[in-house]
Structure formats: structure tokens, C-alpha cells
Structure 1
Amino acid sequence: MKKHDTRTYYVGLCATYHDPALSILNHAGEILFAEATERHLQYKRALNCEPDNLYLIPKLLSEHCGDADEFVIACNWRRSRPIYERLAKMLGWLSPRGILNGKGRRLTTWLEMYQIHHMLACQHHAMRRIGLNLARTLGRDFPGASVRFRHYDHHLTHAALACYGSPFDEAACAVIDSYGEEGSMAFFAYRNGRLKPLFEARGPLSLGFYYMKLTELCGFDWIGGEEWKVMGLASYGRIDEEVLSWLRGTMRIEGLRLAPDYERFFEYLNRLITRRRLKNQAPEAVADLAHTGQHFFTETVNRLIANLHELASSDNLAFGGGCALNSVCNGQLLAHTPFQSLYVPPAPADDGTALGAALLAFHDDHPESRTEPRRLSPYLGSRIKRDAIERLAQYAQLPVRHLPDGAVISAAADLLAQGKILGWVQGRAEFGPRALGNRSILADPRSRDMGERINRDVKFRERFRPYAPVVLHEHGPNFFENYQESPYMDRTLRFRPTVLDQVPAVVHVDGTGRLQTLKQDWNPRFHALLGEFHRRTGVPVLLNTSFNVMGKPIVHSVEDAAGVLLTSGLDSLVIDDHLFTKPGLQP
């Protein structure tokens, strides 16, 4: 049997200690599955958990790889660890006692050494566990299959997803996150299906670490992924010129490198700490700090990306890494750099590297293969089982209607137009942190108090947190200035002043919105629902937010969805063709 006739499956693992994930490709490079581990576990960010969960992995392999002759296991980290990590481990700095005692020389970076060493220790243990559960499952369920392991550079796996999942046949690629093997940034040229490294930053100075510190200074928890709160709070503040001067004094940009001011870095950092939010203060007390910190982040990324354009012979930018989740920054990149087109994948942070690693492994084995330039579909995760929906309908003692052949779309649009808040579960779950119409909470954006109502009664989160508008693509230019397609809710744009009163629930305090563009071929069912709402109301926009409550991942099962319905102010729940409502709600 020839090598390419072998039924080979590519299993990508994100083995980072936070946001682990797993993906599966078939022998033709088709994506069969991609999902973050947090969804199955219902544990936010799945900290210190394996991507190949021992309970889940046999089911996934049985469903997607039953005829396998061979497996290629692709990991999102190089096998060899950086010198500093090996030295710190040898000296005991990564042990519990070493972390408690804060051993080690202070590095010129934004975080405390106990935080740095804790992350390195967690990553060390995550690396030791790579593929253990997968190996046990393969040995039992696929005894005749051959198995090969691949380990890839971390930033390269980010770049692979950003480029192979893009609509570009050539592009410049920027990866900016907290850290990789040697540093926090890497830049590539993408052409003819190949990624060519242009520059890799080295050292502990990191924009990812910077934003984590900013999150901490604002009184939020970056371990829990609360950087989102800083972006929401920033719109309530103004530039603090003194704070901005301190931030600009901590580091400078040299081409594609961040260079610290070694003499004054900690002096400026200590000054910033004096502006931190105190325990008895409301978040709004540090709105100026959040605004200024976000401004500095955007300014710095813009300058780096502009410098990248000078080195790369392309006007297309593919942007990956955790910092590419900053939609405020993303929305300004095309206006402040020479690039003409921007692509951010649906999972730019570490969960996406599971798919990036699998794509790299496939292309290594098929160098002649050329990826057709097209946007990656984000709908790659799990489905809700039909028998689970039927059990809920039978036993939940809730009013329920089975509405096939599109009738559920009409009924849902009626409820939304009446001001009801709707849980909407359809098809396969989204890969990435944002609900894009398959695991969403939806509402009418025309109501001025709708955002506050959802924050208070459904999501149980802070009042300053904004909500996203999903807009029919053909109407996007009518609602947003300098409109750009945003299929994954990846950039924040400014609303036109003339439409602010039409959709107040999705307009942030500064007149912006983190939009999702919707086209029929991207999600026909969700598009049909928004189209029906448009016909009823004259407004081609819905409020769209992730189907969860604060502190929990997006719902994964029927039980998760029903739990949110029954323990929050959600009015109704649609799962496929079933409409569940609260007792007493008029359909």
C-alpha cells in the first residue's frame, strides 16, 4: 500500500496548561473535529487538564477515525524546552516550595517571578503528559495502527492556523502572545502553502504579559481569562497622559522587537502599581487606567505591524496568538497600518494551535498539497444528540413544541421581536471563544435596557460589559463606519451616528460594537433567523452573546443549556427544531 493510500488521521493537541484543545483531520486534510477541552469539562479554560481527556478521546476516535491505519499525533510545542526553564527546574524554582519562596533573579518583564515560575511549572507538567491518554486508547482500540508523533514550534502552530485557515494565497503573518519557546512574538511570510520565518523575538518582555498585568491592575483575574473586562471597561475612561508616559518609557520598538529600558523599567512599573484598583473600589474607578493601557497596547501593536509590512511583500495580514483576541486593536489595524486586508482565525489563542499543529503535520506529509484560500468555518465542534433533546422534551415538564421545516425559525423570530431573550443551539459548536450563532443567547437590540437586563438577569456579570451586534453583511456599511467583514466577531468598529438609536442595546458607551458579519453561506440557519427578524422589525441586527453565565464555558450539552434556561432570566430555548419556553410565557 502506498503511503498516501493509507488511511491516516492527524490528531492535533494543544498541550498548553491553559486552554487545551484537540483537533482531528482525515487523510485528505479535511477538518473532522476541533474543540477546546473546557467545553466538554465545563471548566473555564480547563487549567492544567489534558487535551486528550480519557473519557472523551475513545468516543471521538470511534466516531471520526474508525477505519484508521495510521495516526499522526501533532503537538503545539517543541519537545526540547528553553534553557531558562530547564535551569529553573534544576534549581528547584519550579517546585511548590520554590514558587512560595519566590526564588530566582527578577526578569525584566511585567509579571512577578512566582507567577512566571508557576506558569513554567504548569507547562512543564503539561508537556510530560502529552498523549498519555491517547496512547492508552490507541493501544486498546487500534492495535494494528501505526503511530507517529510530531512536535512543532509553538508560534509556528499559531501561524499555521492563521494562514491555512485564511482566504489568502499569500500574506504576512504576525503571532503575538504571552510566550512561546523563546519569546512572545514571531513573524512569517506565507506563500505557495509555505510559512517562512522572518523574525522571532527572544526574551521575557511580552505584550501578552503586559495585558495580563493591566488586567491585574484593574482588579481582574487573568488566570480566569478576564482580559475581556479590561477591553469593556476601557471605553468608559480617558487617556491619562502621565500613565501613558510611564508605559511608553518601559519599552521601545526596534523593528519587530520590544526592547526594555533596563534602568527604569521597574521604576515605571512601580508607579503604575500606585494607580491599581483597590479592593473597595468599583471597576469604574480605574476606567482611565484601562483606557490608557488599551491605548498603549493598540499603539504598540500598530507600530509592530506597520514595521512588518516593510519586510513582507504583501498587503494581506494574518494575525494569530492570544493578543489577536483584542478586538479593539484589530478594528484599528487596517486604518493605522499599510495593510489592506486582515484575517484573524476564530481561535487565535492557544486552543487554535491544536488545529494549527494538525495542519502542519498534514502539509509535512503532503508537500504537494495546496490549500484553497477560503475562510475557515468555525463550526467544527460537538453536536447535541437528538435523543438528549427528546429526553428533555419528555421529562423537563416545560412547554415544548417540535417545529420542523423552518417553522422554529419563524417562531424564534416572533419571540425575539416581542423582546424575549432566547437561547439558540444549532448544529456544531463553534471552535474558539465566541458564540457565532450556534451556541448563542440572542435578543432584540432595539430595547435600550436589553443589555443591562441580560447582564443582570441572564449572564450575572458587571454592568459595564457590552454586547455584540450580529449584522447581515449587505447592511454592514449602513451601520458601521469604514465597515470590514468580521465573520468571527474579531474586530470592533464604530457605529454610524445615524443608527445609534436603532440598536442601543449593542452600542458600547464609546459608540462602537464588536460585530459579527453574517452571510448566508457561512451559516444558513442563523442567517434565516436574522432575515426573519429583519422582516418583522426593519432592523438587520441582533444582539448576540455566548450561551453561558459568567465564569462558565459556553454550553456543551442539553443539560448545560437547560440549566441556564431554568436558573436565569432566559425566556426560551431553541435546540435544533425544538422550542422550549418558561411556564406561562405566551408563544
Structure 2
Amino acid sequence: MRKHDPRTYYVGLCATYHDPALSILNDEGEILFAEATERHLQYKRALNCEPDNLYLVPKLLGEYCSDADEFVIACNWRKSRPIYERLAKHLGWLSPRGILSGQGRRLTTWLEMYQIHHMLACQHHAMRRIGINLARTLGRDFPGAAVRFRHYDHHLTHAALACYASPFDEAACAVIDSYGEEGSMAFFAYRNRRLKSLYEARGPLSLGFYYMKLTELCGFDWLGGEEWKVMGLASYGRTVPEVLSWLRGTMRVEDLRLTPDYEHFFEYLSRLTGRRRPADEAPETAADLAHTGQLFFTETVNRLITNLHARAPSDRLTLAGGCALNSVCNGQLLANTPFRSLYVPPAPADDGTALGAALLAYHEDHPDSRIEPRTLSPYLGSRIERNAVERLARHGHLPVRHLPDGAVVSAAADLLARGKILGWIQDRAEFGPRALGNRSILADPRPRDMAERINREVKFRERFRPYAPVVLHQHGPKFFEDYQDSPYMDRTLRFKSAVRGKVPAVVHVDGTGRLQSLEQDRNPRFHALLDAFHRRTGVPMLLNTSFNVMGKPIVHSAEDAASVFLTSGLDGLVIDDYLFTKPGSQP
């Protein structure tokens, strides 16, 4: 019997202490799997958890790599650690006692030293655990396989995802983050499948840290990922000139650098801290601070990106790093900079670096690879096990219909057109923080009270937070000013005033919406559902939000979905071809 050709698999690990993730590529460059660890664990951001979960990894390798002869394990951080981290560890500043003492000279940055040292301590321990669970699994299940480990620069892994996953064959690339090995930003030129470094920031000053501090001052928890709340709240506020002058006085843009005003930085930071929202005041009281802080963030990014164009002239921009999740800023980049096209990957934050590291390893081994540029599909995660859905149908004591061959699409469109709120699950989960039609909660955008109803009865979150529209791409220009294709819900655009009254549930208070553009080839079944809703209502748009409740990750299993369905105001639940409703409801 002829032995098969040797097979190599590339396993990418995001070993950051927050938002760990794992990806798998084969030796043809095909992405087989990519998912954040929080989904499997159902623990928001999976703080201080390893990406190669000991219970999950054997299943994944068995499913995707059963014929492996070799594994390349690619990590999203360099093996050598920054000198400050090594010094802090040596002096005991990263121990519990050291963190509590707040020792060390205060760095010119936005966060307190105990926060900085806690992050460094968590990352130090995360680095020490890299690949331990993978090693055990490989030793047991693949004893004859060769294993190679590779470590890559953190911001390079961000850039790799932004560029290799884009439809561009050349572009300028910006990575704007909280921190990397040496600093918080990096800029690249991308051409012929190769990345050329233009500038790597050094030092602790960081736009990511700035937005974390802004989140804290508005009364929210950045460790829990509540920067989203600041973006939503900002639309309710007005610019405070005095606060904006303080912010502009803390740091300035010089070429591709952020330069602090060393003389006045802490003075202005102290004044800003005096604006902190007290815990007993409503979030809306921080709206002006949020608005002004968002304005400063956007104008700073615009200056950096404009300067990048001067260094790397191109019509095309790719953007990654945690700051690339700021859809308000993203939606203004093409209007305010010389670039004409923008690509933001579906997972621009640290979870995406698991895939970026694997792509770097693949291209290192295949430097002459001729993979055609194409937009990455975000549907790279886990599937709901069919037997789990069948168990729910059999034992859940819920009204249920099995509707194969597209019948479930028609039934779901009918319910949505009648004002029902549905959980919608199909095929593979999205990679990244946004639900894009495979793990979504969907609703009719026409009722004025729909957003408030979902906030109150389904998501259990603050009233000021908006909901996103998903629109049939060909109808986008009818609804949005200066319409841009937004496949991953990565940018916020302004609705045309004439159509806002038609879809009020997805129009934010300032007339904007963080949209998802939908074409048939991106997600045929979801497109069929939206098309069916359009035929029934004349509206080519649905309200689309992630299938979870506030503080929890997007649902991962049939059991997770059933839990949210039964403990919230959802009217129906679709999992593949099954439609579940609640006792006493009309089918």
C-alpha cells in the first residue's frame, strides 16, 4: 500500500493573557479552523487561560489533522521578553506583593503602575505555558510526528492577518494596539505577499491604553472588554472644549510616532481623572466625556494614517490591532485620509493573531506560494453538534419543527416580519467578536421600540447601546451616505435622513449604524433569509446582534443556545433546520 505524501499542519496560538485563540492551517494554506478560547469555555475574554485547552485540543487535532506527519506550532509573541518586563520580574514587581506595592518609577502612560505590572505578570505566565497542552496531546496521539515551534513578533502577526486575509495584492498596513514587545504600534508596506516594516513604536505610550483609561473614567470595565459601551455612549454627548484641550496636550502625532508632553502629561491626566463618573451616577452623565474622548481618538488615528500614506503611498489600507475594533473611527478613515479602500479583518484584536501567526509560518515555508488574494471568510469556528440539537428537540419539551430544504428560512422570515425576535444558528461560528449571521439574534428593524425591547428583555444591557443593521449589499447605497462595503460589521456609517424612519431600531441617536454588508456568496443561507424578509416587508435590512447576554461570550453549544432562549425574551430559536418556539406561542 502506497504511503501518503507527508502532511504538515500549522497550529497558530494566541498566547496573550486575554483573548487567547487557536487556528489550524494545512500545507496548502487552507484555513481549517480558527476560534477564540472564550467560546468553548463560555468565559468572557478567557482571561489567563491557555489557547490549547487540554480538553478541546485532542478533538480539534483528531478532526482536522488526523493524517499529520509534522506540526508547526506558531506563537504570536517573540520568545525573548522586553527588558522592562525582565527587570520588573527580577525586582519582584510582578509578584502579588509587588503589584500591590506599586513599586517602580511611574511610566508616562495612561494606566497606573499596578495595572501595568498586573498585565506584565499575566503575560509572563502566559508565555511560560505556551504549547504545554499541545505537547502532551501530540506526544500521546501523534507520537511519530515531527514538531517545530516558532515565535513571531506580536505586531507582525496582526499585520499578517490584516494583509494575507485581505483582497489586496499590495497595501499599507497599520497596527494600532495596546502593547507589543516594545511598543503599541507598527506600520508596514505589503507587496508580493511580503511585509516590510516601516516603523515600530517603542515605549509605553499607547492609544490602546488611552482608550482603556477613557473606558475607566466613563465608569466601565476595560478588563471586561467594555470599550464598546464608550463608543455607544459617545453618540449621546457633545464636545467639551476644555477636556479636548487637555487630551491634545497629553500627546501629539509626529510622523508615525506618539510623543508625550513630558512636562504636562500627568497634570492633564490628573484633570481628566477628576472627570471620572461616580459609581452611583447614571452612565449617561459621562456622555460628553465619552464623546470628547472618542473625537480625540479618531483625530489622532486619522493623523497617523495620513502620515502612513506619505510613507507608503497606496490607495489601499489594512488595519489591525485592538484599536481597529473602533468602528466609529474606521467609518471615517476613507473620508479623512488619502486612502480609497480599507480592509479590517474579522478578528483584528489579539484573537486574530493566532491565525496571523499560522499564516506567517505557512508563508515562511512556502515563500513562492501563489494563493490569489481574496477576502477571508469569517465562518471558521465550531459547528453545533447535530446530535445535541436532536436531543434538545426530543427532550426539551418545547414546540419544535424540523424544516429541511430551506423551509426554515421561509418560516423564520415570516416570524421576523411579524415582529418576533429570533436566535439564529447555522453552520460554523464566526471568528472574531461580531455575529455575522451564524450566531446571531435577529429582529425586524421597523418597530421603534424594538431596540429597547431587546435591551430590556433579551440582552439585559444598558438602554443607550445601539444595534447593528445587516443590509443586502446592493441596497446599501440607498440607506447610507458615502456607502462602503462592510462585510464584518467593521465600520459605522451615517444613514441617509430620508430612510431613518423606516428602520429606527438600527439607527443610533446620532443617525449612524455599524453595518454588515451581505452578499450571497459570503453567506448563502443568511442571504436567503434577508432576501425573504425583504420580499415580505420591502425592507432589505434586519437588526443583527450577537447571540449572547451581556457579560457572556457568544453561544457555543446547543445547550448554551437553549439556556439563553429559555431565560430571555427570545420568541424563537433556529438551529440549522430546527425551529423551536415557546409553549403557548403562535407558530
TM-score (norm 1): 0.99
Quick check: 1:49 aligned with 2:15?
Answer: no
Deviations 1:43-69 (A, max 9, x none): 000000000000000000000000000
Residue aligned with 1:501, SS = helix
Q: In the alignment, what sits opposite 1:401?
A: 401
Measure how far apart 1:81 and its partner are: 0.1
The one-letter amino acid of 2:322's match is: G
Q: In the alignment, what sits opposite 1:527?
A: 527
Measure how far apart 1:6 and its partner are: 2.4
Measure how far apart 1:211 and its partner are: 0.1
Residue aligned with 1:500, SS = helix
Quick check: 1:328 aligned with 2:301?
Answer: no
5 Å-filtered alignment, 1:234-383, equals: 234-383=234-383
Deviations 1:366-399 (A, max 9, x none): 0110331111000000001111110000000000
Contact 1:192–1:370 (CA under 8 A) maintained in structure 2: no
Return the alpha-carbon distance in structure 2 between the equivalents of residues 452 and 360 of structure 1. Answer: 44
Measure how far apart 1:280 and its partner are: 1.2
Return the alpha-carbon distance in structure 1 between the equivalents of residues 321 and 102 of structure 2. Answer: 29
Return the alpha-carbon distance in structure 2 between the equivalents of residues 333 and 5 of structure 1. Answer: 47
Return the alpha-carbon distance in structure 2 between the equivalents of residues 325 and 45 of structure 1. Answer: 15
Residue aligned with 2:118, SS = helix
Quick check: 1:179 aligned with 2:179?
Answer: yes
Residue aligned with 2:544, SS = strand
Measure how far apart 1:276 and its partner are: 1.0
**Structure 1, unaligned stretches of length 5 or more?**
none
Q: In the alignment, what sits opposite 2:27?
A: 27
Contact 1:247–1:268 (CA under 8 A) maintained in structure 2: yes
Return the alpha-carbon distance in structure 1 between the equivalents of residues 214 and 370 of structure 2. Answer: 41
**Structure 2, unaligned stretches of length 5 or more?**
none
Return the alpha-carbon distance in structure 1 between the equivalents of residues 427 and 346 of structure 2. Answer: 17
Q: In the alignment, what sits opposite 1:225?
A: 225
Return the alpha-carbon distance in structure 2 between the equivalents of residues 584 and 337 of structure 1. Answer: 55
The one-letter amino acid of 2:165's match is: G
Measure how far apart 1:313 and its partner are: 2.7
Quick check: 1:412 aligned with 2:435?
Answer: no
The one-letter amino acid of 1:495's match is: F
5 Å-filtered alignment, 1:423-502, equals: 423-502=423-502
Return the alpha-carbon distance in structure 2 between the equivalents of residues 476 and 526 of structure 1. Answer: 16
Quick check: 1:194 aligned with 2:194?
Answer: yes
Fraction of identical pairs, as percent? 85
Number of aligned residue pairs = 584
Q: In the alignment, what sits opposite 1:150?
A: 150
Q: In the alignment, what sits opposite 1:536?
A: 536
TM-score (norm 2): 0.99
Deviations 1:185-237 (A, max 9, x none): 00000000000000001000000000000000000000000000000000000
Return the alpha-carbon distance in structure 1 between the equivalents of residues 568 and 321 of structure 2. Answer: 34
Moved over 4 A (4+): none
The one-letter amino acid of 1:413's match is: A
Q: In the alignment, what sits opposite 1:558?
A: 558
Measure how far apart 1:239 and its partner are: 0.3
Return the alpha-carbon distance in structure 2 between the equivalents of residues 122 and 429 of structure 1. Answer: 28
Deviations 1:280-316 (A, max 9, x none): 1100101000000000000000000000000103110
The one-letter amino acid of 2:231's match is: M
Return the alpha-carbon distance in structure 2 between the equivalents of residues 462 and 170 of structure 1. Answer: 42
Residue aligned with 1:133, SS = helix
Contact 1:164–1:371 (CA under 8 A) maintained in structure 2: no
Deviations 1:510-558 (A, max 9, x none): 0000000000000000000000000000000000000000000000000
Residue aligned with 1:23, SS = strand
Return the alpha-carbon distance in structure 2 between the equivalents of residues 521 and 172 of structure 1. Answer: 27
Residue aligned with 2:553, SS = coil
Contact 1:469–1:513 (CA under 8 A) maintained in structure 2: yes
Q: In the alignment, what sits opposite 1:107?
A: 107
428-437 vs 279-288, which moves further: 279-288
Measure how far apart 1:5 and its partner are: 4.7
Residue aligned with 2:342, SS = strand
The one-letter amino acid of 2:460's match is: F
Residue aligned with 2:115, SS = helix
RMSD, matched Cα: 0.7
Return the alpha-carbon distance in structure 2 between the equivalents of residues 571 and 234 of structure 1. Answer: 31
Return the alpha-carbon distance in structure 2 between the equivalents of residues 504 and 277 of structure 1. Answer: 30
Return the alpha-carbon distance in structure 2 between the equivalents of residues 370 and 179 of structure 1. Answer: 33
Return the alpha-carbon distance in structure 2 between the equivalents of residues 356 and 458 of structure 1. Answer: 35
Deviations 1:300-342 (A, max 9, x none): 0000000000010311000000000000000000000000000
Q: In the alignment, what sits opposite 2:134?
A: 134
Residue aligned with 2:105, SS = coil
Return the alpha-carbon distance in structure 2 between the equivalents of residues 548 and 150 of structure 1. Answer: 35
Return the alpha-carbon distance in structure 1 between the equivalents of residues 105 and 290 of structure 2. Answer: 29
Contact 1:422–1:442 (CA under 8 A) maintained in structure 2: yes
Residue aligned with 2:410, SS = helix
Measure how far apart 1:279 and its partner are: 1.2
Quick check: 1:203 aligned with 2:199?
Answer: no
